[in-house]
Amino acid sequence: MYTARADVIAIVGPTAVGKTAVAVELVGLLGGEIVSADSMAVYKGMDIGTAKPTFEEQERAKFHLIDVADPAEPFSVGEFQRLAHDVIDDILRRNPPAVVVGGSGLYVRAAIDGLDMSMPGENAELRQRLVEEARVYGNEYVHSKLAAVDVESAQRIHPNNLKRVIRALEIHEATGTKPSQLFEQDSKREPRYPEARFFGLTMDREALYARIEQRVDVMIRQGLVEEVENLVRQGVDPSGIAMQGLGYKEIAGYLRGGYGLDEAVDLLKKNTRRFARRQYTWFRADSRVEWIDVDKLTASQLARDEILPRLCN
């Protein structure tokens, strides 16, 4: 077993690049446990569309913060942060390192740096109203409301990321201040785990897009449509925040009769490619991330030959 010089390690990058597989291999070399920093994998019953770790992966490494929230109930990044800090602190006491894995930039930041929890809390009435407006008039309509009060936030947050658009409007409603200004102030605080090491996985853009399309096709074959049907049958609101995640909102639109299945699949592929571009933008803005090209390398090779030497030397 090797000894890493960092007790908190982050594996980040775009969707479908292979982060989870690399993290499992790294834990096999270093020990430690994996902390999922994924805004959708927190929800129970949302398995296929979130590409949760396989049974085999969960047999090989201990995962945390998967299936900790009910998709029918509100769950905030603040709640995630509290859980993440408790889990990471526990791992550091018992079995370091804590390997934080995720493509949700805000959740990675909440886990490792911490967000200012003096931010205003949830406004359930406002959220429900904005969700309904998005359902009736479209996400662009709600996004235009954000652009009217905070151009910087509107430029950073894609209209289809309804959860973050609504959160930004919620912050502005409560404080009268641009969310971008508050987040800028927050980014200057000392990170909770200042010695954390960040590794970003990257690959040729067209190859990544091919992986994304293959992943979507596999999700459909595995039963994504049936998964969404089951969630709705169990009482999860198709227009609720949890169902705004990639794969769920597109299939929910199909189930409501908005378009055919082929169009839903094409829309999911398109939206996932867009999401991957936004993930790159987020993580490339963080100077701490050490980028590694995964082209022609297996997960085992990436962990053993690329990441491990950087951590142990």
For residues 293 and 208, give the distance between their C-alpha atoms in angstroms, rounded to a whole number: 12
Nearest CA to 46 among 72, 24, 64? 72
Residue 120: pLDDT band (50, 70, 90) is confident
Residues in the chain: 313
* pLDDT value at residue 1: 63
Bridge partners (DSSP) of residue 200 are 12, 291
What are the CA-CA distances from residue 301 to residues 21, 26, 181, 256 (Å)? 11, 10, 42, 45
Q: Give the C-alpha separation, 201 to 206, whole Å.
A: 15
Q: Which of 26-40, 112-126, 163-177, 212-226 has the weakest average pLDDT?
A: 112-126
Q: Which of 72, 46, 62, 89 is nearest to 222 (CA)?
A: 46
Mean pLDDT, range 273-291, rounded to an integer = 95
* Cα separation, 309 vs 313, whole angstroms: 6
What is the pLDDT averaged over residues 190-201? 95
The yes-or-no verdict on residue 150 having pLDDT over 70 is: yes
Of 66 and 116, the one with more pLDDT:
66
Reading the block at residue 113, the tokens are: 């740096």
Structure tokens at 253: 């639109």
Predicted pLDDT at 209: 97
The overall average pLDDT reported for the chain is 93
Determine contact, residues 162/131, Cβ cutoff 8 Å.
yes
Question: What is the average pLDDT across 87-93?
Answer: 98
CATH class of 8-116+189-312: alpha beta
**Is the pLDDT score of 171 beyond 80?**
yes
State the pLDDT at residue 12. Answer: 98
- Looking at residue 177, what is its pLDDT? 87
Give 251's DSSP letter. H
Mean pLDDT for the stretch of residues 5-18: 95
Helices (H), the chain: 19-30, 55-60, 77-94, 105-112, 124-137, 139-149, 151-156, 162-175, 179-186, 205-222, 224-233, 248-255, 261-284, 299-301, 308-312
Residue 51: half-sphere exposure toward Cβ, Cα within 13 Å: 23
Q: How far apart are CA 287 and CA 283, in angstroms?
A: 8
pLDDT at residue 11, rounded to an integer: 98
Q: How far is CA 309 from CA 3, 5, 29, 217, 302, in A?
A: 11, 10, 11, 36, 10
> Quick one: how far is CA 189 from the chain centroid?
22
In the chain, domain spans:
8-116+189-312, 124-186
**Tell me, what's the pLDDT at 225?**
98
What's residue 156's pLDDT? 85
Place of tokens 């198709």: 238
Angle, CA of 153, 133 and 278, to the nearest 5°: 35
Q: What is the band of 117 on the pLDDT scale with cuts at 50, 70, 90?
A: low
Given the DSSP bridges, would you call strands 197-202 and 33-36 parallel, antiparallel or unpaired?
unpaired
CATH topology of domain 124-186: Histone, subunit A (1.10.20)
Q: Write the pLDDT tens digit of every residue in 32-87.
A: 999 999 999 999 999 999 999 999 999 999 999 999 999 999 888 889 999 999 99
Lowest pLDDT segment from 117-131, 149-163, 247-261, 282-296? 117-131
Q: What is the pTM of this model?
A: 0.82
Give percent above pLDDT 90 in the chain. 78
Q: Cα(301)–Cα(299) distance, rounded to whole angstroms? A: 5
Sheet containing 289-293: give its strands across. Answer: 63-64, 33-36, 98-102, 8-12, 197-202, 289-293
Closest to 202 (Cα-Cα) out of 97, 308, 302: 302
Pull the structure tokens for residue 239: 């227009």
Name the region of 4 (left: φ>0; alpha: ψ -120 to 50; beta: rest). beta
